[in-house]
Amino acid sequence: MHYDIHYECQRCTACCRWPGTVALTDADTAAIAAHLGMDERTFIQRHTRIRPDRRGLSLLEKEDHSCEFLGGNDCAIQPVKPEQCRRFPNHWHFPGWREKCHAVPTLHKDPQPPT
Ligand code: SF4
């Protein structure tokens, strides 16, 4: 039996406060715009900017570099938050994330051994 470590998010919001981009897929843009009750063009104009690598859009951030949609410790778009947010920290993370993020490591049985 193979075991995988999976980090369970504790909603500490460390990733939401980390300076950097929150990249949006086309599906993210459509879902968030619908959730906010606005058309995609209006959402893009009001809540996004071009990423520094110019490969797509990022959510806007506040002066302290936290995400625009973070209010206290709550994400205002939690049900439709971007893929990048959902995949942290198991699929990507930033340097020094273990010192900031409170996600709890858990062992998962994986019947498929790594190939
Ligand atoms: S969209 Fe939500 S989960 Fe993602 S960085 Fe912003 S506040 Fe955090």
pLDDT of residue 3: 83
Q: DSSP letters of 38-103?
A: S-HHHHHHHHEEE-TTSSSEEE-B-TTS-BTTEETTEETTGGG--HHHHTTTTT---TTHHHH--P
Best of 75, 84, 87, 92 for a ligand 1 pocket test (most atoms within 8 Å of beta carbon): 75
Single pTM value for the model? 0.87
pLDDT of residue 78: 96
Q: Mean pLDDT in runs of 10 for the chain (115 residues)?
A: 88 94 97 98 98 97 97 96 96 93 90 62
Nearest to 7 by CA among 111, 114, 97, 113: 97
User: Ligand 1 mean position to 16 CA, how many Å?
Assistant: 5
Taking the CA of residue 22 as reference, the ligand 1 atom at the shortest distance is 5
